[in-house]
Structure 1
Amino acid sequence: MKSRRELLTPILVTIVLVAAFSVSVASVIGERQSIKFYIYGSTKCLACNLFKTFVKEKFGEDSIVFNELVGNKSNAEVFVSIYDLVFPEVDKSRLAIPLTVVVVDDRVAAVVVGAYVSGDFWSNVLNNSEGILLVDPSGKISRIYNQTIERKLESLIKIPVQADASTHSEADQQTKNILIPVLIAASSDSVNPCTFSVFTALLLLTMYVGGRGRMVLNGLAFISAIYLAYYLLGLGLIKMFAAIPWLKYAVIALGLTVGGYEVFTSLGGKFKSPLPKAFREATSKLIDKASSATTTPLAFAAGLIISFTLLPCSSGPYLVATSLIADLPLAERLALLGIYNLVFIAPLVLILLAMGVAEKKVRKKIKEWRTKHLHILNAIAGGLLILISLWALLV
């Protein structure tokens, strides 16, 4: 018979690993190549807007520093100076926009005239360690090796860099403003009765079939699978909301509807699962397979599939949260997504800890509490979902 200490050790190790994974994803992004596009143009210029859209989709919105030329004498002077420095042969009465200075890892890597969007070209820019790649108004590509020009370009774009610092400050404030609503949404998702019910059923059945040790291992596999599946799903949702911004309002309407339904159905004192019959049957079969799994990978695989069969029941808060996160810079998106999912799995970890060290009487009480109080959890989850949906509507 394994001691409680031996059973707790793998649980605590898993918690640390999951937390480390969340932090490492953001840190890896932070260590990748930094790239900035200093774009000189006008908001009324079609080519400028097309180029901004291309850069946003390929490199992220936080990589853009847009310098409006109309009504801004300082930007206009820098714009002309860049042309004089890099393209002195161009007629000064016909200076094309957008004009973009690309800085990779704090070094000027390219100067581009027009909405040049060739994928191969930008790959060369990212890998360019020597000289400056140029695209002139005719579309001709060349390269110059001139450190004097490079230093002068760096000096010219210092003013936009200072303006960009305030942009970052605004982005940081936006992240802080969104953090609390994201935590509320995660809390709503974490007390979701569907996940609670399925997880406790899995643990109780596994305990009966394979004992406490097998229950702990299968429980850890299940939690890890849910975290991974939901994190990957979140990445896809964020990409979707970033590409189609108006979907946010459809999600808010869905959140209010689902939240209202959860509160209303809980008033009778009973929990009514919103899962379709086919999903409930599929989930039940997967629980049986996971609880009787003789190897941890099988339990992990079952957990991955169960994560998706539970989506009709648990996706409301996640949709609202990811719609809010989608407008943030990439590193912040990944970090908040990791935090959301850590909050989401926290109650599952606590249940596993409790059942891993509890005696038979306590496990019986957990089972009874699960049966009698799911409607309370459902009401709490619904109320929090309504709250976060209303907040999202107002921002």
Structure 2
Amino acid sequence: MKKKFMLLLLSIAIVQLVALSITSLAAVSVPKEVTFYEFGESTCPHCTALLNLFANNFPNNTVFCDIATSQSCLNRFSNWLGFSSFPGSVPQTFVIYNKTYILGIVIGEVDNATFWANIALSQPNEARFPVYAGDQLWGYVNGSVVAQQYIINTFLYPSANNTNTSTITQPSTNQTQSGGGMSYKSFITSLASLAITDAVNICVISIYTLLLASIATRSSKRRAALSGLLFTLGVFSGYMILGLGLLKLIAALGGLPTLIIRYLLAVYGVILIVSSVYSYVKSKTCKTCKEEGILGKLFSAGKWIEKSPPLHYLFGLAISIALIPCSAGPYLVFLVMLSSITGIAKMLYLLVYVLIFVAPLLIFLEVVVLTMKAVPESKVKLFRSIIVPLAGILLIIVSLGLF
């Protein structure tokens, strides 16, 4: 038994040594002539995350051009965008060979060392080079050796005196993920502010609570609870589908630079404050929710109350789309921010936003089912009049980089 145990330990040690050897070989497997030249921002978590990957796997092959702190880098990146008509997203990485050939250009963060190694080990092409959006091939740019050298010498290495870059061997790892070039704290603050503003939706809540109260009094609490859950699931599904579709549209348009996103947050923050003051003064409600609306007439006529609970899922799905005029603003602003994030983080952030959006529906479900009464619209309006301006102030603070 002891002998078998010793053999097991020896086997584990050998496996660890082999794995360590493979990792070491992988780290030095890229030819020294290859350079990963990254345009990025030191305040952008995706840029620093990519630098961490380069430092861990290709420590001697990385150059970082910080457009946030270097005027030279900012000018050259701006000139490159004007020359190429590429989207102004960062990180934007050139994989070059011997400062002569472009092996590929990658827009966005890709946290896969094998992906980068494959580009670095590819053969230089004297006629064209590939462009990737994330890890997906976007297409090819036709360019002779002379054209590739022109790009490298003009936008990456214009001259020894004008190149303000630094080789990254141990980049800072204290940055955390976010979107739009903002810190994690700023992004989460913006997400929460926009989602809460969106969630306190008089249109949806008024119809929803009246629906639940009607079902509870005409049928049973159990059926009201089931209908409420299915209605909420319908709203959740509709908002997720809408979000995914709009994200694809934003990506097709090329996204927005960090500075524009911050301006967008500031402007929308001001809009929230002004609109909440205006609504308070005028005591104006959302007309889409009144009975003269198509959905209002259908509901007041009792068309949906007596139907089976599964139909309330379709009702919730329809509500989430039909009442967009009441709440499209915060969702669109958030999706523009979210468009700069790649991978599973994008889906997780979208999921968190939509969960916050439907959270009040679950809360009101419990209230209505227990009390058998609809939540008064006046209370919803009062809560919204407090939350919305606070959210606007937070968005302005975030846009100014003070949080």
State the TM-score, normalized to the length of structure 1: 0.58
Change (3 A) 1:48 1:166: farther
In 2, Cα distance between the equivalents of 1:168 and 1:240? 32
The amino acid of 2:353's aligned partner reads Y
Change (3 A) 1:197 1:337: same
In 1, Cα distance between the equivalents of 2:193 and 2:271? 17
- Contact 2:64–2:168 (8 Å) recurs in 1: no
- Contact 1:225–1:303 (8 Å) recurs in 2: yes
Q: Does 1:262 align with 2:276?
A: yes
Please list, as runs of the form range in 1=range in 2, the aligned pairs for 1:26-175 lying within 5 A after superposition: 44=76, 64-66=92-94, 82-83=97-98, 96-100=100-104, 105-107=112-114, 108-110=117-119, 111=122, 113=124, 116-117=129-130, 162=169, 166=172, 169=175, 171=177, 174-175=183-184
In 2, Cα distance between the equivalents of 1:257 and 1:384? 12
The answer for the alignment partner of 1:387 in structure 2 is 393
Deviation at 1:389, TM superposition (A): 4.0
> What's the % identity of the aligned pairs?
21
Please list, as runs of the form range in 1=range in 2, the aligned pairs for 1:303-382 lying within 5 A after superposition: 303-356=316-369, 358=370, 362-364=371-373, 367=374, 369-382=375-388
Deviation at 1:343, TM superposition (A): 1.5
**Partner SS for 1:291:** coil
User: RMSD in angstroms over aligned alpha carbons?
Assistant: 4.5
Change (3 A) 1:322 1:97: same
- Contact 1:271–1:378 (8 Å) recurs in 2: no
Change (3 A) 1:118 1:264: closer
The answer for the alignment partner of 1:273 in structure 2 is 286
**Partner SS for 1:109:** helix
In 2, Cα distance between the equivalents of 1:329 and 1:188? 25
In 1, Cα distance between the equivalents of 2:285 and 2:379? 12
In 2, Cα distance between the equivalents of 1:253 and 1:50? 27
Change (3 A) 1:118 1:186: closer
The superposition leaves residues 213-240 of structure 1 with CA deviations (integer Å, 9 ceiling, x where unpaired) of 2211211111111112212322344445
**Partner SS for 1:169:** coil
State the TM-score, normalized to the length of structure 2: 0.57
In 1, Cα distance between the equivalents of 2:79 and 2:124? 10
- Contact 1:100–1:112 (8 Å) recurs in 2: no
Higher helix share: 1
The size of the alignment, in residue pairs, is: 294
The superposition leaves residues 187-210 of structure 1 with CA deviations (integer Å, 9 ceiling, x where unpaired) of 222222222212101212222443
- Contact 2:273–2:389 (8 Å) recurs in 1: yes
Greater RCO, CA 8 A, separation 6+: 1
**Partner SS for 1:98:** strand
Deviation at 1:353, TM superposition (A): 2.2
Structure 2 residue corresponding to 1:294, chosen from 308, 319, 339: 308
The amino acid of 2:102's aligned partner reads P
Please list, as runs of the form range in 1=range in 2, the aligned pairs for 1:128-277 lying within 5 A after superposition: 162=169, 166=172, 169=175, 171=177, 174-241=183-250, 243-245=254-256, 248=261, 249=263, 253=267, 256-267=270-281, 270=283, 272-275=285-288
**Partner SS for 1:116:** strand
**Partner SS for 2:332:** helix
The amino acid of 2:224's aligned partner reads M
Change (3 A) 1:319 1:105: closer
Q: What stretches of structure 1 of length at least 5 have no aligned partner?
A: 1-33, 68-78, 84-94, 126-134, 140-158
- Contact 2:102–2:124 (8 Å) recurs in 1: yes
Change (3 A) 1:251 1:280: farther
Deviation at 1:314, TM superposition (A): 1.7
In 2, Cα distance between the equivalents of 1:101 and 1:273? 48
In 2, Cα distance between the equivalents of 1:341 and 1:255? 20
**Partner SS for 2:293:** helix
- Contact 1:39–1:66 (8 Å) recurs in 2: no
Change (3 A) 1:380 1:281: farther
The amino acid of 1:380's aligned partner reads I
Q: What stretches of structure 2 of length at least 5 have no aligned partner?
A: 1-52, 66-72, 147-165
